[in-house]
Structures are given as structure tokens and as C-alpha cells.
């Protein structure tokens, strides 16, 4: 591919670790070409937190080896994603006095850095300082104030941070696998860019990446990031609940969920489902309708947690575009209908489109949404001022020095 670059992204999740090598064009309309992809099951993340460094390191190393063999090249560095309940999203604003002169780049940086400073939290490391808007002499909606004559400049940003220990431990696992780190991106930001459109983000939308152990939320309005959060809910909780209620092994509960799972009775197969038991217990059966009822109860709790987050931040009224669910745990029949009724807004489920070069078993895999978003952010960087003092543009180039603290 002419005028292209080979990029590597790593997405470490609760149930799978994904390493993908892709060729990315420089134009906005360029198509991603996957050269190699490696997926390893298992791991030691709990709600996005590393619980066993050797296990996670091994999972990454295994996925790297698969991707390298498929691509026929050696991986040296990668962009990685991070998630977890420790993620914090805060809106902040900073000001700079201009005093009737032209606004300079340094003025803009000063206002942004002030906003970042006001949002700083103990034991948290800043991942992103995302532009919302600039206000010049009380005139809102300014996208580029540099060169304008004014008295006052205000920068409004959304700051996303992660617990320092969580970042350090994840970076250590990646380095243990022999990979240098190019940058750390909030998984919810990557998923949002893959699963939503610019028109939806302008109208007002929330993307929810519902995975195995966590749900990453990003709320947008007028193309501005308004809120980011990760909730400790996911598909693993459904499997664990089924295992307890049905008195069946956890692995069997996972298989039952995948083969008979639905949220509405109309999607039920209306059959009797044999339940695997432990020991010498007699065979038992469950109607598929009862199975749907048990799973639906879990998802109703998920939706209640999401709704609680909406009301906590007071931005529920901004969702004119509705909610986009994605991720592996969102691919269950009836989700859009049930969620639409509960949230009283448009709801759709995003499934990744076919990707050139990607293994057949990974095509249309909703678990790939963060990976695809990481590639998209490298191809079309967003305005991230996390290292604004260096005056570098784009989310990837702006965070290069982030890793110096962890080397």
C-alpha cells in the first residue's frame, strides 16, 4: 500500500488478549489491511485490573507469536489500550488573559494546561486531554482561536485518567513480552470511534462497549466528549450467576449462555435444555424460556447501572442520538429492544464490518471493536492535549513521552 505504515495494537481484555498487525494508509478514506492477528484466551484481568503479571505477560507473548508468524515479521512496539473501574472522566476549563491582542498557540496551551491541572487527581495518571471547545470573549463554539484578537480565552476539555498502578502493571506485562509501548489509549475512546459516526456524536450519543468484565462508556454531544467511565459489569457476571442459580459448572454455564442466550422470550427456542451437573447428580432440564428469564434479569441490572451513571452525571438529556452497544456481551438477541424500552431512546448494536486480511473466525467479531478503534485513531488522530506543552498534534504523537515514567 503506497503512503502507508505498519502499526501494531494490543488489546488486553478480561477474557482474551488480542495482538493485531495492520497496514494503515495516511488518507482518511484509506482501508485497513490486517497482516497478522493473534488471540489468546484467558488472562488475569479482573474488571480491567492486572491480577497476575506472569499470566498476563504469557498471554500477550502467546498472542504476539501468533500475529508475528501470520504476518511474517517481528513486532518491536505497539499501541495498547487500558480499561477498568479506575478510569475517571472529568470536564474542566482553563482561562488565559489575552488583553486585546492576537491569541497565540502558547495562549491556547496555557488555557488547556490550566484546565488539565484543575482536573488532576492523586494516584491518577492523565491519559487524554480531549478538546471540547474554546470560548473567546464569551463567544462559544470556537474550534481554532489562534490568530483571533480577544481579551479572554477559555478552553473546555474532557480529561480522562487511569490509576497509576494499573497503568504501570499493564505496561510491565507488555514489556515482559518484549514489546515497547508507543502509547496508552483508553479502550472506551477507541471503541467509540469505531462504533459511532460523526453525525451521531454531533447529535448526542453514548457508546457502551460491553465486554466480559467491564463496560466502557463514552458520551458525546455536539462532537464533544462529555463523559467517560468504566463500569464493573459484563458477560462474565452473567455466566457466574447462571452457574450459581442452575448449580452447574461455570464453563457449562458459559456454553449455555452462548447457545441459548436471549433477552426476550420471542427469541427463545422453546425447548428443554439439559443441564450439566457435578458429581453423580441425576440429569436435570430447564426450559429455554426460564433460561431467557434468568439472563434477562442480569442484563436489567446492567442497564440499571448504566442508567444510574447517566443520572449521576446529569447528561441524560443529551442522548438525542441514542445509545450504541458493542462488545461481545452486547451480541445477544433482544438487547436493542430491551435497552430501547428501558432507556426510552434509540438503541442499536454495532457489529464490526469485514476487515481485509483478518482471519475468518475474527470477521464480524464484536470483541475486535477496540482493536479497530485503535487503528482508526492512528489513521485519523483526535485533538488530544495530554502533552500540549510539546505542541504536537494528534492523540498518538502527543503521548509519546507518557511512557518515560514507566521505563
- 172 found inside a domain: no
Q: Look at residue 82 and tell me if it is in a domain.
A: no
Question: Region 36-44: what's the mean pLDDT?
Answer: 85
Write phi, then psi, for 315 (nearest 5 degrees). -120, 15
What is the reported pLDDT for 206?
A: 98
The stretch 193-222 carries a mean pLDDT of 95
Looking at residue 94, what is its pLDDT?
96
Q: Is 320 part of a structural domain of the chain?
A: yes
213 and 330 share one domain: yes
Residues 156 and 201 in one domain: no
CA-to-CA distance for 237 and 241, rounded, in angstroms? 6
Radius of gyration of the chain (CA): 22
Residue at which a domain ends, from 349, 374, 400: 349
Give percent of the chain above pLDDT 90: 74
**Together in a domain, 345 and 262:** yes
Specify the CATH number for the domain of residue 150.
Answer: 3.30.1490.110
- For 251, residues 6+ apart whose C-beta sits below 8 A from its C-beta are none
- CA distances (Å), origin 56, targets 166, 170, 173, 338: 13, 8, 6, 35
Look at the alpha carbons of 322, 323, 324, 330 in this order and tell me if their dihedral is positive or negative.
Answer: negative
DSSP per residue, 318-370: G-TTEEEEESGGG-STTHHHHHHHHHTS-EEE--PPP-BT--GGGTT-GGGHH
Residue 153 and residue 201 in one domain: no
User: What φ, ψ does residue 38 adopt, rounded to 5°?
Assistant: -130, 135
Residues 106, 156, single domain; the answer is yes
What residues make up the domain containing 129? 89-161
Q: How many domains does the chain have?
A: 2
| Sign of torsion over alpha carbons 260, 369, 326, 248 | positive
Does 188 map to a domain? no
CB 35 within 8 A of CB 22: yes
One domain, residues 201 and 156: no
Bridge partners of 97, per DSSP, are 152
Q: Cell numbers 463554539 correspond to what residue?
A: 141
Q: How far apart are CA 118 and CA 72, in angstroms?
A: 47
Across residues 200-218, what is the average pLDDT? 96
| Residue 31, pLDDT score | 83
* Same domain? 203 vs 97: no
- How far apart are alpha carbons 349 and 366 in whole angstroms? 10
Q: Does residue 228 belong to any structural domain of this protein? A: yes
Residues ≥6 apart with Cβ < 8 Å to 42: 15, 16, 55, 59
Same domain, 208 and 323: yes
For 382, the grid coordinates are 483526535
Is 389 within a domain?
Answer: no
405 vs 345, residue with greater confidence:
345
Which CATH number does the domain housing residue 262 bear? Answer: 3.30.420.40
pLDDT digits (tens, 9 = 90+) for 276-327: 877 777 778 989 999 999 999 999 999 999 999 999 999 888 999 999 999 9
Q: 175 near 181, Cβ under 8 Å?
A: yes
What is the residue-averaged pLDDT of the chain? 90
For the chain, give the percent of residues with pLDDT over 70. 92
What are the pLDDT digits (tens) for 57-82?
999 999 999 999 999 999 999 999 99
State the pTM of this model: 0.91
Terminus-to-terminus CA distance in the chain, angstroms? 34
Same domain, 220 and 339: yes
pLDDT, one tens digit per residue, over 243-261 is: 999 888 899 999 999 989 9
d(CA 170, CA 185): 12
Q: What is the pLDDT of residue 397?
A: 47
Q: How far apart are CA 391 and CA 271, in angstroms?
A: 62
Domain check: are 237 and 332 in the same one?
A: yes
Q: Per-residue pLDDT tens for 103-142?
A: 999 999 999 999 999 999 999 999 999 999 999 999 999 9
Rounded to an integer, what distance in angstroms lies between the CA atom of residue 236 and that of residue 339?
19
Amino acid at each position: 500500500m503506497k503512503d502507508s505504515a505498519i502499526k501494531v495494537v494490543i488489546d488486553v481484555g478480561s477474557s482474551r488478549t488480542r495482538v493485531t498487525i495492520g497496514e494503515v494508509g495516511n488518507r482518511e478514506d484509506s482501508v485497513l489491511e490486517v497482516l497478522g492477528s493473534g488471540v489468546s484466551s484467558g488472562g488475569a484481568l479482573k474488571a480491567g485490573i492486572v491480577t497476575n503479571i506472569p499470566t498476563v505477560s504469557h498471554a500477550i507473548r502467546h498472542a504476539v507469536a501468533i500475529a508475528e508468524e501470520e504476518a511474517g515479521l517481528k513486532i518491536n512496539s505497539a499501541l495498547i489500550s487500558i480499561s477498568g473501574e479506575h478510569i475517571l472522566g472529568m470536564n474542566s476549563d482553563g482561562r488565559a488573559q489575552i488583553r486585546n491582542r492576537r491569541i497565540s498557540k502558547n495562549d491556547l496551551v496555557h488555557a488547556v494546561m490550566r484546565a488539565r491541572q484543575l482536573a488532576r487527581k492523586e494516584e491518577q495518571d492523565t491519559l487524554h486531554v480531549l478538546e471540547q471547545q474554546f470560548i473567546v470573549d464569551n463567544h462559544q463554539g470556537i474550534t481554532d482561536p489562534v490568530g483571533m484578537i480577544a481579551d479572554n480565552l477559555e478552553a473546555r476539555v474532557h480529561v480522562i485518567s487511569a490509576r497509576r498502578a494499573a497503568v504501570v502493571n499493564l505496561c510491565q506485562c507488555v514489556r515482559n513480552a518484549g514489546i515497547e509501548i508507543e502509547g496508552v489509549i483508553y479502550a472506551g475512546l477507541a471503541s467509540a470511534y469505531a462504533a459511532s459516526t460523526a453525525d451521531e456524536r454531533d447529535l448526542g450519543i453514548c457508546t457502551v462497549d460491553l465486554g466480559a468484565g467491564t463496560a466502557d462508556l463514552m458520551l458525546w454531544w455536539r462532537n464533544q466528549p462529555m463523559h467517560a467511565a468504566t463500569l464493573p459489569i459484563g458477560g462474565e457476571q452473567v455466566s457466574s450467576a447462571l452457574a450459581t442459580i442452575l448449580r452447574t459448572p461455570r464453563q457449562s454455564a458459559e456454553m449455555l449462555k452462548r447457545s441459548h442466550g436471549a433477552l426476550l422470550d420471542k427469541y427463545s427456542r422453546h425447548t428443554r435444555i439439559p443441564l450439566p451437573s457435578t458429581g453423580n447428580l441425576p440429569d436435570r432440564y430447564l426450559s429455554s424460556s426460564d433460561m431467557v428469564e434468568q439472563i434477562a434479569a442480569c442484563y436489567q441490572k446492567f442497564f440499571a447501572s448504566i442508567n444510574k451513571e447517566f443520572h449521576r452525571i446529569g447528561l441524560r438529556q443529551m442522548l438525542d442520538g441514542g445509545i450504541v452497544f458493542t462488545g461481545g456481551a452486547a451480541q445477544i438477541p433482544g438487547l436493542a429492544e430491551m435497552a430501547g424500552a428501558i432507556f426510552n431512546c434509540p438503541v442499536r448494536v454495532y457489529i464490526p464490518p469485514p476487515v481485509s486480511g483478518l482471519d475468518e473466525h475474527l470477521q464480524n467479531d464484536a470483541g475486535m471493536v477496540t482493536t479497530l478503534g485503535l487503528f482508526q485513531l492512528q489513521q485519523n488522530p483526535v485533538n488530544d492535549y495530554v502533552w500540549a506543552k510539546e505542541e504536537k498534534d494528534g492523540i498518538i504523537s502527543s503521548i509519546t513521552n507518557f511512557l518515560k515514567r514507566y521505563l
